[in-house]
C-alpha cells in the first residue's frame, strides 16, 4: 500500500504520461473530512485508499479502494466529464443527443489507459443507455 504522497506521485505521473496538459489542481491528495473545503480528497489510510468528496460540510462520498487502478479510475471519472462536456458543446450537431459526444470523448479518454479501462467505460455507457437511450431529435 502506497503512502498518500507516493499515491499522488503515481496517479499524477500515470495521467501526465498520457494526458500531459491535464491539470489536477482540484484533486486534493490529503486527508479530507467534514471540515474540509468542498472538493475531492484522495489519501491512504488503514491499508486502503480513500476517494472522498465533501460538499456543504458533509462527506457525500467516501469510496474505499484497495488498488491504484481503481484510484486512477475514480480520478479519471472526476476529470473526464468536464473534458467530455466541453468536447460535446463544440461538436454536437443540431438534433443530436448531447450524450453521444460526451460518451464518445469519455470512451476515447479511458481507452488511453488500457483495454480494461475502455471495456469498463464501454459497459458503463451501455448500462446507462439501456435505461436511458439516446434521444435524438430529427
For residues 63 and 42, what is the distance between their CA atoms, to the nearest angstrom?
10
The phi, psi pair for 2, rounded to 5°, reads: -80, 155
Provide the whole-model pTM: 0.92
Can you give the pLDDT at residue 138? Answer: 74
Can you give the pLDDT at residue 34? Answer: 87
For residues 115 and 131, what is the distance between their CA atoms, to the nearest angstrom?
25
Return per-residue pLDDT of the chain as tens, 138 residues. Answer: 999 999 999 999 999 999 999 999 999 999 998 889 999 999 999 999 999 999 998 999 999 999 999 999 999 999 999 999 999 999 999 999 999 999 999 999 999 999 999 999 999 999 999 999 999 997
Can you give the pLDDT at residue 101? Answer: 98
H helical segments located in the chain: 4-18, 68-91, 98-111, 115-131
Can you give the pLDDT at residue 33? Answer: 87
For the chain, the structural domain boundaries read 4-131
> Is residue 47 helix, strand or coil?
coil
For residues 47 and 72, what is the distance between their CA atoms, to the nearest angstrom?
17
Helix or strand holding residue 59 (H, E): strand 58-65
Can you give the pLDDT at residue 114? Answer: 97
Check: CB of residue 77 under 8 Å from CB of residue 110. Answer: no
H helical segments located in 39-97: 68-91
Cell output for 54: 465533501
Amino acid at each position: 500500500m502506497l503512502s498518500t504522497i507516493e499515491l499522488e506521485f503515481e496517479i499524477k505521473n500515470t495521467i501526465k504520461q498520457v494526458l500531459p496538459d491535464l491539470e489536477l489542481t482540484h484533486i486534493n491528495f490529503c486527508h479530507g473530512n467534514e471540515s474540509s473545503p468542498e472538493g475531492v480528497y484522495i489519501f491512504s489510510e488503514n491499508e486502503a485508499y480513500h476517494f472522498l468528496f465533501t460538499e456543504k460540510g458533509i462527506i457525500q462520498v467516501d469510496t474505499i479502494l484497495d488498488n491504484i487502478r481503481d484510484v486512477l479510475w475514480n480520478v479519471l471519472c472526476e476529470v473526464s466529464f468536464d473534458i467530455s462536456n466541453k468536447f460535446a458543446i463544440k461538436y454536437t450537431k443540431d438534433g443530436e443527443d448531447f450524450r453521444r459526444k460526451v460518451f464518445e470523448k469519455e470512451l476515447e479518454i479511458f481507452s488511453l489507459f488500457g483495454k480494461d479501462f475502455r471495456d469498463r467505460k464501454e459497459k458503463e455507457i451501455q448500462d446507462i443507455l439501456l435505461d436511458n437511450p439516446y434521444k435524438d431529435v430529427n
